[in-house]
Amino acid sequence: MIVGKWLAAAAAVVAAAGALGARPEAGASSAQVKIQVAPDQVAVTIDGKPFTTLRADKAAQKLYLHPLLTASGKQVTRGFPMEPAPGESDDHPHQRGVWIGAEHVNDADFWENEPSDKNPRAGVVTLTKVTGVREGAGEGAFTLIAHWIPPGRESKVLVLETRTMTFRAPAPDTRSIDIDLRLQAKSKVTFADHHDALLGLRLTTPFEIAHGGRLLNAEGLTSWEKLRGARSAWVDSLATLDGEGVGVAVMDAPTNFRFPTSWHVREYGLVFANPFAMHDYSPSVPDGSVTLQPGQELKLRYRILIHPASADVAAAFKEFSGR
């Protein structure tokens, strides 16, 4: 599929949605959000407590958030392979915290792209700039510029990523991250119809189905087999962490391409929002590949909400979407 007229028509709508999302929600707390930029990482604290850190990990050849913590300081993302915890699974070492990537971008792989994968198609995502740092009462934010570079000594930048992340504490027991993502083609780029893409999380052990974890989407589906490939405005993962009921919801903005998105979920705590996978899940539907001409962009917006298990995620989505 070639995205042309849709990109032009949607740009203004998406920009407006981004501006709306930049404002704190009604009743948002006045928690102090601090952003500390250092070589190869950006740390985020809320009221002096760690929330998350962006890692520009050259060894991993990707950017990721690790760890991701609840308001009470409990870790919701898997520690492996960065900081393995006792009894934690050690499969898929490329699934680090929260990250953005895709397995088939032209001939390059920006998913299983770590050296340990020994993948000749492995590309590299490099952080080139951090800008637009804002911090203070209610929210903090920064913008990063990253280059997606395919393998080969003479390779040039294939995709220019511009990502703004806004961090909030909507309530004392709740944390959120808004992700405004722009992927610009520097040459002709095709994101293939494949389940391994685009934004997601690898969650810690209690979120795994075998360890009592549960799933729920906007349509009320709770089986991971039924959620996988289904289209929905949001997916919520639920677990009990040291006696505390916790949920991690990922929300797809209504202005996004192919809203509601399809979801790549697995029983072992993997949740990914994926606007490309269509035929990969259902052979009877058309191919969902997306081709961008040089200079064209995909603009996408998501929210990650870390909340008490009793929270009304449907209501939180309405607030996020402006509906």
pLDDT tens-digit series, residues 55-86? 998 889 999 999 999 999 999 999 999 999 99
Cα–Cα distance measured from residue 240 to residue 5, given in angstroms and rounded to the nearest whole number? 46
Which residue intervals of 182-312 are DSSP H helices?
Answer: 224-227
Please tell me whether the peptide bond between 198 and the residue prior to it is cis, using omega within 30 degrees of 0. yes
pLDDT tens, residue by residue, 105-122? 999 999 999 888 889 999
Q: C-alpha distances in angstroms, 126 versus 57, 61, 208, 227, 299?
A: 9, 7, 31, 32, 20
Question: Looking at per-residue confidence, does 24 or 100 come out higher?
Answer: 100
pLDDT for residue 15 is more than 80? no
Query: Coil, strand, or helix at residue 314?
Result: helix
Please tell me the predicted confidence (pLDDT) of residue 48.
97
Domains and CATH numbers, the chain: 5-321 (2.70.98)
The pTM assigned to this predicted structure is 0.91
pLDDT band at 89 (very low <50, low <70, confident <90, very high): very high
Please tell me the predicted confidence (pLDDT) of residue 32.
97
Tokens 């052979």 belong to 283
Q: Bridge-partner residues for 10, per DSSP?
A: none
pLDDT for residue 24 is more than 80? no
Average pLDDT over residues 215-235: 97
Query: Coil, strand, or helix at residue 257?
Result: coil
E-only strand ranges, 135-218: 136-137, 139-149, 159-171, 174-185, 189-191, 197-202, 214-217
Structure-block tokens of residue 225: 């087999």
Query: Coil, strand, or helix at residue 100?
Result: strand
The answer to whether the CB of 301 falls within 8 A of the CB of 21 is yes
CA 196 to chain centre: 13
Structure-block tokens of residue 244: 């505390």
Please tell me the predicted confidence (pLDDT) of residue 172.
95
Cα–Cα distance measured from residue 17 to residue 14, given in angstroms and rounded to the nearest whole number? 5
pLDDT for residue 26 is more than 60? no
Please tell me the predicted confidence (pLDDT) of residue 168.
97
pLDDT for residue 222 is more than 50? yes
Question: Positive or negative CA dihedral for 56, 301, 230, 188?
Answer: negative
pLDDT tens, residue by residue, 244-274? 999 999 999 999 999 999 999 999 999 999 9
Please tell me the predicted confidence (pLDDT) of residue 118.
87
Query: What DSSP character marks residue 109?
Result: B
Give rounded-to-5 percent helix, strand, coil for the chain. 10, 45, 40
pLDDT band at 287 (very low <50, low <70, confident <90, very high): very high
Please tell me the predicted confidence (pLDDT) of residue 267.
97
pLDDT for residue 303 is more than 50? yes
Please tell me the predicted confidence (pLDDT) of residue 18.
35
pLDDT tens, residue by residue, 132-175? 999 999 999 999 999 999 998 778 999 999 999 999 999 999 99
pLDDT for residue 34 is more than 60? yes
Other CB atoms within 10 A of residue 32 CB: 16
pLDDT for residue 320 is more than 50? yes
Other CB atoms within 10 A of residue 47 CB: 14
The answer to whether the CB of 24 falls within 8 A of the CB of 168 is yes
Cα–Cα distance measured from residue 181 to residue 15, given in angstroms and rounded to the nearest whole number? 11
pLDDT band at 17 (very low <50, low <70, confident <90, very high): very low
- Average pLDDT value for the chain: 91
The answer to whether the CB of 147 falls within 8 A of the CB of 128 is yes
Please tell me the predicted confidence (pLDDT) of residue 323.
63
